[in-house]
Amino acid sequence: MAMPMRRVLIANRGEIAVRVARACRELGLETVAVYSDADRDLRHVSLCDASLRLGPPAARGSYLNKTLLVAAARATGSDAIHPGYGFLAEDAEFADLCAQSRITFIGPAPDAIRQMGDKIAAKKLAESIGVPLVPGGTLDGGKEIAALAAGLPYPVLLKAAAGGGGRGMRVAGSAEEFAASFLQARSEAKEAFGDGTIYWERYIGNARHIEVQVLSDAHGNHAHLGERDCTLQRRHQKLLEESPSALLTEEVRSKLCEAAVQISRALDYRSAGTVEFLYDADRGSFHFIEMNTRIQVEHPVTELVTGVDLVREQLRIAMGHPLDPQVAHALRRGWAIECRINAEDPDRDFAPCPGRITRFVSPGGPGVRVDTHCEAGTVVSPYYDSMIAKLIVWDIDRERARLRMLRALREFVVEGIKTTIPFHIAILQSPDFVSSAYNTRWVGEKAKEAFA
C-alpha cells in the first residue's frame, strides 16, 4: 500500500506553509511553494526547493484555484499536495481532482471530507454511534420563516451546514429575532461557502470548547492524542488554546477521547483530524459539534505535550505507513499554551492592521516555540487572515506555562503594525484565566475590563 512520495506541493501560504515545508524537509521530501502576487517575498517561498507564481492576490485566483494548483503540481513534477488549513483543506472536490490527477492529497479520503464538511451529516454519524450531540435540527428551506421560528427552544444558534472559521453563525434569542438572524446567517453562508443551508442548535450560553486530536492510518489504526481547550474565542474564532484542559477529570477525558476515536473508526478515517465538543457548564454535559478533517491552527499545543509531530504523521500516513508506535504510546506530559498573534488593533475593536513590519524580534529560551512566516520587512497583506505568528510555550504545569507565556509575550517585539500581543498579556494576567473560570463568551463580555 506504500505510495511513493518525492516532492510535495504546499497549497497554502504563511505560517502553515512554513510548518509543512519543515516537516517535509525532515522526511527528505522536496518542497514546492506557490504564491500569489502579494506573497512573492514571504518566508514559505524562499524556504521551499522550488516555487511557482499562482496569480493575483485575491484567493479565488490563487490559493482557491483548484485547477491552477493541480496544474502547478503537474508542472513541477510534484506527486503530492499538502493543503494546510483554510483555503482548500476541506474541499472534497479538490481532493477528488487530486485523485483523478494521480496526485496524493495529504489528508483524508474525499468522502470523509464530504461527510464531515456537511455538519448535519456529521451530527447524524455521531448520533448513530451514540455520541451525544447539542440538541438541534434542520430548517426546511421551503417553509415560511414564521413556521420555522415557531416552537424552537430559544435561545438557539443558527449555523451554516457548510460553515467554518466561525462564519455563518447567528444567535436568535427569541422567535421575534429569528427572521433577522436566519436571513443574516443564510446570506453569510451563501457568500462564504456557496451553500445557504442553515440548521439550528440549542445555544449553550455557558460553554467550554474542548476538542480531541485524532490520527488514523490507512491500515485501520485509530488513535487520539488527548484534548485541547479552545474556549477563549472572539466571535467564534479561537484566540488562545491549551492542552490539556483544566476542566476535565480523567474519567471524562477518556470518555471524550474514546468518543472521538469511535467517530474516526465509523468514518474509516485516515490522516489527522479534530473532533470538537462543547461542554455545557450549567448541565455538566458534553456534546459533539463538528469534526475538522485537516490539521488545525492550534495543533502545536498537542505536539508539545505529546512529542508527536502531527504534520510528519500526516505525511507518513499519506505515504501508506502505519501510525508511528510513538503515537499509541505517547505520554502526555506537562502543559502547553498557544496565543494566536494577529495583526489587529485591540484598541479599535480588533480592526485588521495590515502594513509593513519594521522590527520583529521573536522570543526564545526554554519551552518557547514560535511558528511564523514573518520577519522585519514582511508586509502583512490585507487579502488574507490576519494571523502573523503563533507563540506556543510548554512547562511542567499550567501556572508555570502561564508565567512562561507572559514572559515570552513581553519579549516579543513587533513594530510597524498593531498586534494582539498586549491583549494576550491582559488575558493571561486576569484572575479568571488564572483560575480557568471562563466560557466562550468571556472575551466578548469581560475582556474589555481585563484589557483596560
Q: Known catalytic residues?
A: 294
Side chain identity, residue 286: F
Packing angle of the helix pair 110-117, 92-100 (nearest 10 deg): 170
For helices 119-128 and 250-267, angle between their N-to-C axes, nearest 10 degrees: 110
Q: Which three cell numbers stand for residue 120?
A: 448535519
Residues numbered 318-347 forming contacts with ligand ADP, rule: CB under 6 A:
none
115 binds, among Mg ion, ligand ADP, none (CB under 5 to 8 A by kind): none
Task: Spell out where 173-218 has E strands.
Answer: 198-202, 207-216
What SS3 state is found at 252?
Answer: helix
Q: Name the one range near ligand ADP by CB under 6 A: 33-41, 94-102, 229-237, 346-354.
A: 229-237
Shorter beta-carbon distance to Mg ion: residue 45 or 295: 295
- Cβ count near 256 (within 10 Å): 24
Q: Is 34 in the site for ligand ADP (CB under 6 A)?
A: no
Interface pattern 176-215 for ligand ADP (x via CB under 6 A): -------------------------xxxx--x-x------
Q: Using CB positions, name the residue nearest to Mg ion.
A: 276
297 binding partner (options ligand ADP, Mg ion, none; Cβ < 5 to 8 Å by kind): ligand ADP
Number of residues in contact with Mg ion, rule: CB under 5 A? 1
> Which lies closer to Mg ion via its Cβ, residue 160 or residue 225?
160
Other beta carbons less than 10 A from residue 339's beta carbon: 26
CA 126 → CA 49, 288, 347, distances in Å? 42, 7, 41
Angle, alpha carbons 21-25-28 (nearest 5°) = 140
Judged by CB under 6 A, which stretch of 107-115, 164-172, 251-259, 325-333 contacts ligand ADP? 164-172
Grid cell, residue 226, equals 488527548
Decide which of Mg ion, ligand ADP, none touches 440; Cβ closer than 5 to 8 Å per partner kind: ligand ADP
- Contact track, ligand ADP, 113-142, x by CB under 6 A: ---------------------x--------
Measuring CA to CA, how many Å separate 266 from each of 122, 146, 173, 276, 320?
11, 37, 35, 16, 20
Nearer to ligand ADP, 209 or 270 (CB): 209
> CB-wise, 275 or 319, nearer to Mg ion?
275
Footprint of Mg ion on 243-302 (CB under 5 A): 276
Is residue 440 near ligand ADP by the rule CB under 6 A? yes
How far is the C-alpha of 142 from the C-alpha of 115, rounded, in Å? Answer: 23
User: How far is it, in rounded angstroms, from Cα 335 to Cα 402?
Assistant: 9
| Contact assessment for residue 395 and residue 373, using Cβ atoms and an 8 Å cutoff | no
Does 90 help bind ligand ADP (rule: CB under 6 A)? yes
| Residue with smaller CB distance to Mg ion, 119 or 253 | 119
376-386 burial, b if ≥16 CB within 10 A, otherwise e? eebbbbebbeb
Q: How far apart are CB 250 and ligand ADP at their closest, in Å?
A: 24
The cell numbers describing 110, all together, are: 474525499
- From the list ligand ADP, Mg ion, none, pick the one residue 259 interacts with, judged by a Cβ distance below 5 to 8 Å according to partner type: none
Assess contact for 405 and 414: CB atoms under 8 A.
no
Number of residue whose CB is nearest ligand ADP: 164
> In which residue are the cell numbers 436571513 written?
183
Q: Which residues of the shown chain bind Mg ion in the complex (CB under 5 A)? A: 276
Q: Which residues of the shown chain bind ligand ADP in the complex (CB under 6 A)? A: 85-86, 90, 134, 157, 159, 163-166, 201-204, 207, 209, 233, 236-238, 276, 278, 289-290, 296-298, 385, 440
